[in-house]
Structure 1
Amino acid sequence: MKKYVLFDHDGVLVDTETWYFRAGQRALAEVGVTLDQGQYLLDMTQGLGTWARARTAGVDEPTIDRLRVARDRYYQEYLRTEDIEIDGVADALAELSRHVRLAVVTTAKRADVELIHEHRHLLEVMEFVLVREDYERAKPYPEPYLAGLRRFGATAEQTLVVEDSARGLQSAVAAGIDCAVVHHPFTAGQDLSQATYRIGGLAELKDVVLGC
């Protein structure tokens, strides 16, 4: 049995992955750059993001800085107006919290996490939330999950990571932590073969945790 669970945030607790992509796509369209979803997902596994295609297309850094502000504004607009709930998450977390200690490790910015959870209660069962500002090297580097282990005072063997993307999975594997990948249609086509477990939703996680 595991004693600690470190959750990714976007795509695991809330359905925000698509909206983040669309916000970047919308911003890049302003300078005539098309952001292809397949290429974007491939770039993400290599530690790149929205702006990799822009740089390839010759967009300069001052323009990218301006587009980043626009992307963030569009994304927060979507967070306020779109349905980002994932069915069953709240109940699954409540049940898990009776058996193991829970926390969040995300590459999301603090401002976005705070906006998402302003009127939600999912984080009440979490002992801490680590966001992008809390470490220098984001996923797929191991630093985020190693920081989670230190915060808990846990070993990798005692801990399970829950992810939905290849980038997050790579981070967990690099940190030496078992990883359960939950199905999400946005990232389902990525190489997730290194996952220790594959689950359809968080409702299945209790059996994984207790059976480890």
Structure 2
Amino acid sequence: MKKFLLFDNDGVLVETEKWYYEANKKSLREIDVDLEFDVYMEIMARGGTAWEVAQKNGHSKAVIDEQRRRRDSYYQEFISSMHIEIEGVLDVLEELSHEYKMGIVTTSRREDFELIHSQREIVKFMDFTLCVEEYPRAKPYADPYLAGMKKFDASQKECLVIEDSQRGLSAAVNAGIECAVVENEFTATHDFSSATYRIKKLCELPTLLESLKG
């Protein structure tokens, strides 16, 4: 029986992935590098970085570091001003909080994560949040979800990961934890063949969990 839920953040609880792409695209365009969507999707699926494209175009580390800084600034502008709510998330978390312990495990920087959630109530349902600075290696490595499991002092069988990306799914699989993938148009091209469960929207999660009680 599942007792602990480990949620990805971007694309599962808030709709931010599009804006991270747009921030990368805008910053790279300033150094005459075009970041095509399908290229970006391939990079994100395997856990790479958009700056690979800049490196292939011969840009120096100093230039890339400056554009990365600008990307971070653009991203924060986007997440501060754009509509990133996903309908029904709070209702689902409220329902699940009566029966499950929950945490967020994200590859977001803590600075960005706090900005996203400063005016939202999502984290009040969570026992903890883990950002990229708080474990050794990011998704698709197992480290993030192993750290989340350790926070709960739980076994793999007691946990369920909720993800929307191939990279996140790989992290769950590498950690030996079952994963429910929520459909997301932004990551529709990713390979989710190793997912244990598939749901169309987060609002289907309580029904899925009920069915797992046997």
TM-score (norm 1): 0.98
Aligned to 1:134: 134
Gaps of 5+ in 1: none
- Aligned twin of 1:78: 78
Q: Counterpart amino acid of 1:178?
A: E
5+ residue gaps, structure 2, are none
- CA-CA distance at 1:208 after TM superposition: 1.6
Amino acid of the structure 2 residue aligned with 1:99: E
Q: Which amino acid aligns with 1:201?
A: K
1:95-114 mapped onto 2 (5 Å cutoff) = 95-114=95-114
Instruction: Give the drift of 1:10.
Output: 0.2
- Asked if 1 retains the 8 angstrom alpha-carbon contact of 2:46 and 2:166, the reply is no
2:17 counterpart letter in structure 1:
E
Count residues with an aligned counterpart.
212
SS in 2 for 1:151: helix
Q: Following TM superposition, where does structure 1 have runs of at least 4 consecutive aligned residues deviating by more than 6 angstroms?
A: none
What amino acid maps onto 1:176 in structure 2? G
Query: Aligned AA for 1:177?
Result: I
Identity of paired residues, percent? 48
- After alignment, is 49-58 or 78-87 more displaced? 49-58
Q: What is the match of residue 17 of structure 1?
A: 17
Indicate the residue corresponding to 1:150 in structure 2. Answer: 150
Correspondence for 2:120: 120
Does the 8 Å contact 1:2/1:210 carry over to 2? Answer: no
Corresponding position of 1:26: 26
Provide the TM-score with structure 2 as the length reference: 0.97
Q: Secondary structure at the match of 2:19?
A: helix
* Coordinate RMSD, CA, aligned: 0.8
Cα distance in 2, alignment partners of residues 49 and 88 from structure 1: 31
Q: What is residue 163 of structure 1 aligned with on the other side?
A: 163
Question: 1: CA distance between counterparts of 2:127 and 2:23?
Answer: 30
Paired AA for residue 59 in structure 1: H
| Distance in 2 between residues matched to 1:187 and 1:50, nearest whole Å | 16
Q: Is the 8 A contact 1:183 1:200 kept in 2?
A: yes
Q: CA deviation at 1:46?
A: 2.1
**1:163 CA displacement:** 0.2
Give the superposition deviation at 1:18.
0.3
